[in-house]
Amino acid sequence: METVYVVKGMTCGHCAGSVTSELTALPGVEGVDVALETGNVTVKSAAALELDQVRAAVDEAGYELVGVA
């Protein structure tokens, strides 16, 4: 399953790495792809993820989850 989230505040590779690291740690996440230009973060997972879990992971990385694209 693929879900695209919109994350605010990412500007560089370090930002993308932080978000990727936090999201990859969630159970069931198989891959994360960050597009800095748009703020879109594509998450591949075995099953649907709870939005609150995704929001918490993005917050932990220091960024803001705006919503689902």
Digit-coded pLDDT (tens) for 2-21: 999 999 999 999 999 999 99
Contact by Cβ (8 Å): 39, 66: yes
Helix (H, G, I), strand (E, B) or coil at 1: coil
Q: Which fold has domain 2-68?
A: Alpha-Beta Plaits (3.30.70)
User: 64 is written with which tokens?
Assistant: 């803001």
Look at residue 62 in the predicted model and tell me its pLDDT. 97
Task: Tell me how far apart the terminal alpha carbons of the chain are, to the nearest angstrom.
Answer: 14
> Are 67 and 6 a contacting pair, CB within 8 Å?
yes
Check residue 59 and give its pLDDT. 98
Residue 31 has what DSSP assignment? E
- Where do the structural domains in the chain lie, given as residue ranges? 2-68
Among 31, 55, 26, 28, which Cα is nearest to 44's? 31
